Amino acid sequence: MKKVVLFLTIMFMTMSYAQEAKQIPQINVNGEGKVKVAPDQVCISATVETKGNNAKDVKKQNDEKIDAVLKFIKKMNVPTADFKTKQVALNPQYDYEKKKTSYNATQTIEIVLKDLSKYDELMEGLVEQGINRIDRVSFETSKLAQIETEARKLAIKDAKLKAEDYVSVLGQKVGKAYTISDNTQVYRPQPMYAAMKSMAMDSAGASNETLAVGEIEVIANVSVSFILD
């Protein structure tokens, strides 16, 4: 009997607490914060791809081109910490029609260029030294964490401003935040660029303009529940 009384007492207290919690006047709003910043570095993923019928020869040719590429990158005064070999592969490819096996060798170099004024020169030089595949070009900011923090703060301010707008006509005031949910979707902005064509020099000897860097836009989204006073 005592257990039954204790159980009923706990149930009553739980129901009373739930009813009390439901009666708290609240307002739920979404907030968005946007921060734009000019990129100060670019991440380039470039690959040397070599094909042939002899695995040893294919690998040798690929290694020679990569050696030339790495020497060129160093000549461009890119710090050693800012470039690395990302992937190396040597794969057989069997042609069922010709009943013949060929080989495909690839080596991918990832470069972080922090001096954007060297971008065109670097890209042209990479192609001249043997790079025949540009896998990715991503313009970034080295201050991303700082920018994300600023965007989150703006999102919270935007949410509070919206809440104040809604309740101002009701004669109420926005109190403390009851719950906060971060709805931000993490992404890495891609560059807006024009066709690089062959990245060759034009007839006047000047480099072709290959891209418009633009700005990186960092967006934070939050959902906030405020208690109404």
- What the block records as the tokens of 30 is 């979404």
* pLDDT value at 11 more than 90: no
pLDDT category of residue 98 using cuts at 50, 70 and 90? confident
User: For residues 206 and 30, which has the higher predicted lDDT (pLDDT)?
Assistant: 30
Read off the pLDDT of each residue in 32-48 and give the average, rounded to a whole number: 94
Q: By mean pLDDT, which of 43-47, 104-108, 215-219 is the weakest?
A: 215-219
Task: List, for residues 162-219, the tens digit of each pLDDT value.
Answer: 999 999 988 889 999 999 999 988 665 554 443 333 333 343 444 455 556 678 889 9
- Residues 70, 73, 77, 79: is their CA dihedral positive or negative? negative
**Minimal CA–CA distance to 109: which of 90, 88, 123?**
88
Q: What is the mean pLDDT of the chain?
A: 84
Read off the pLDDT of each residue in 113-135 and give the average, rounded to a whole number: 94
Predicted pLDDT at 9: 56
Homologous superfamily of the 25-38+142-229 domain (CATH): Protein of unknown function (DUF541), domain 1 (3.30.110.170)
pLDDT category of residue 116 using cuts at 50, 70 and 90? very high
Q: What is the CATH number of domain 41-140?
A: 3.30.70.2970
Residue 7 CA neighbour count, 13 Å, CB half: 4
Predicted pLDDT at 203: 36
CATH 3.30.110.170 spans which residues of the chain?
25-38+142-229
CATH 3.30.70.2970 spans which residues of the chain?
41-140
pLDDT category of residue 20 using cuts at 50, 70 and 90? low
User: For residues 5 and 144, which has the higher predicted lDDT (pLDDT)?
Assistant: 144
User: For residues 178 and 10, which has the higher predicted lDDT (pLDDT)?
Assistant: 178
Q: Is 146 left (phi over 0), alpha (psi -120 to 50) or beta?
A: alpha
